[in-house]
Amino acid sequence: MRDHIYFVYVLASGRNGTLYVGVTSDLAKRAQEHREGLVPGFTRKHGIKMLVYWELHRDINEAILREKRIKRWQRKWKMDLIESTNPQWRDLWPELIAG
Q: Which residues contact 58 (CB under 8 A, 6 or more apart)?
A: 3, 4, 5, 6
Residue range 10-62, pLDDT digits in tens = 999 999 899 999 999 999 999 999 999 998 899 999 999 999 999 999 999 99
What domains can you pick out in the chain, each with its CATH number?
6-98 (3.40.1440)
- Whether the CA torsion 65, 66, 68, 74 is positive or negative: it is positive
Q: What is the pTM of this model?
A: 0.93
Say what the pLDDT of residue 10 is: 98
pLDDT at 98 over 80: yes
d(CA 98, CA 42): 27
